[in-house]
Chain A
């Protein structure tokens, strides 16, 4: 009944084809074709369909369908799920504690302590009155329109995820800069993490972990946000002036002295640029992660979409932009401070 019937007939494979015949569920196209009774074997030659799995299956049932492929992937994942869970669950448990603890802490501190504390921190890292003033106004605005607690939740998640990304990302980047082989292995992985649509992260994670656990979104955010800091650490260390490295060697520095005394300090502007990017990507992901129960401003956006509450969605969207600008300005200001003290 398919276009390629004659192809299999001429090859003498008809028996093999029919031997595998199973009455799987009918596809929508098949159903439509049957109901209309249109059997277009005599289609003109330019209507030749691409010999895809589904089209070949039409002619010969021994060929599997694309649906079998996706089913196979799913089944494969489900098969290893239990053992994967057995390993990953305990390892990632501290992430849940950290995220929950931080959320609890940020919520427990009263606003009149937390906002000044944040402002002092901002001034300490940026040494800029302008930036501090901007952050102060932003927080007062967020609090004034009753988005304070949502913003603080988002901030808390970003804080934990960024710290962890730096903690894991910087050593990874250093290892990459030291070994060309490791770099060759890591670059495709980092490319994949960066280009994989953000929703796709969530699918396997939902299978692995319970949706009520905070580590679910924690892992998704870290995997997405860790990429820039790894890349830029690697780049930064590779870009350190060869002459200075030679001088360090000539004066007999050990590898450790060279790493901590020369390479990391000289790569710091690049590493900080990576941290800035990591913070921004964590913010982008934390909104999407509200789909898997991450608290914060993303929840409001989601409510706006689900209930078609246009105003709620737009206002919280503006709040996210405000938060992004705050995070960007503060991390850029501290980056600029590092740059001027270096060259």
Chain B
């Protein structure tokens, strides 16, 4: 399931300014963002982005504000046109679609969830959720049935006839998600979908998304500036900074092997025990551990293992996956993995971001 590439971004450049083509080659040859702005008056939005997004996975694009993440996601459905490069969806370059084909792709191929919900204020929740189907020209009956189904699924039974302004932020975003799901498109773009919600509601919404994803296996592209959120949701994590990809990998790998000080500093504040899983730090082996204190699952978090061990560092565990032994976990290794390679040094982040 994870190996089919659904969306593939190739050598994507986006330059803002009067004549982006003129400075494209300079950007290609590595001229820095500040130099391009000062000498040529153009702003590099994205620089040489290459990302593969697998079918049925959640690809999280994370970066601070100004890193170009919202610009990047808008290239997927061409709300923003790239200066150079390709965006392949199922092998078709969307940058070359005609206006009609593009509209068709937006109607059936992709749906989008927005940070500020962007619901139609003059339509009821039910009509909002059925928007995608109405745009396609389906009748009210059909659109409403389908919309009702998804509204129930996101937990909004009984709110069909309300107007968006009568709902709380979290509920409005549920409508936003139902609207995206009703379109029944294989790809879902989520642009900081939970960033405007307060933390408790945000956790609820993340759980909702994970639960939906368990059944639906959509290809989700999720934008966020929140590292905890990205580690929770991501199958594949892409970290953007100043318009280029700093590192992309499975989140566990990024946590264990940060590519540069910027990311190292970024991940140093994370509760590693909760995020890291047994599989990432175990020693692969088909034999059970000597003096095994018991079996643990391949996908357990380190937090749960620590709880089981009662804090003892002397034990080791046998790691099982679907009943088979796949490795050994020594508690000493676990403790080592909890310490970031570089403990958060004061000033590192300040130097990197400013």
Contacts and interface: CB of A to CB of B under 8 A. Distances in A.
B204 to A, nearest CB: 23
Contact of B120 (A244, A246, A250, A341): A244
A249 B132 CA distance: 11
A251 B183 contact: yes
B120 A262 contact: yes
B118 A252 contact: no
Most buried by A among B108, B116, B117, B189: B116
A343 interface: yes
Interface string B159-187: 00000010000000000000100010000
Interface residues of B, number: 28
Interface in A244-262: 244, 246-247, 249-254, 257, 261-262
A266 B122 contact: yes
A246 B79 contact: yes
B103 A252 contact: yes
Interface string B209-244: 000000000000000000000000000000000000
Given A243-B114, A257-B135, A250 B121 contact: no
Given A246-B79, A343-B165, A251 B107 contact: yes
B15 interface: no
Contacts of A341: 122
B131 interface: yes
A250 B116 contact: no
Contacts of B77: 250
A246 B113 CA distance: 11
B104 interface: yes
A265 B79 contact: no
B248 interface: no
B106 A251 contact: yes
A342 interface: yes
Contacts of A257: 135
Contacts of A247: 112, 114, 118-119
Contacts of A249: 79, 106
Interface string A269-311: 0000000000000000000000000000000000000000000
Contact of B111 (A243, A251, A253, A261): A251
Nearest to A268: B122
A335 B105 CA distance: 39
Contacts of B103: 252-254
Contacts of A250: 77, 79, 106, 110-112, 114, 189
A279 B110 CA distance: 46
A339 to B, nearest CB: 11
A144 B105 CA distance: 67
A241 interface: yes
20 contacts: A241-B118, A243-B114, A243-B116, A244-B118, A247-B114, A247-B118, A250-B106, A251-B106, A251-B111, A251-B131, A252-B102, A252-B103, A252-B107, A252-B132, A252-B135, A253-B103, A254-B103, A261-B120, A343-B121, A343-B165
Interface of A: 241, 243-244, 246-247, 249-254, 257, 261-262, 265-266, 341-343
Given A244-B121, A247-B119, 15 more contacts: A243-B114, A250-B110, A250-B114, A251-B132, A251-B179, A252-B104, A252-B107, A252-B108, A252-B136, A253-B103, A254-B103, A257-B135, A265-B122, A266-B120, A266-B121
Closest 7 CB pairs of A and B: A252-B106, A252-B107, A247-B118, A250-B112, A243-B118, A252-B103, A265-B122
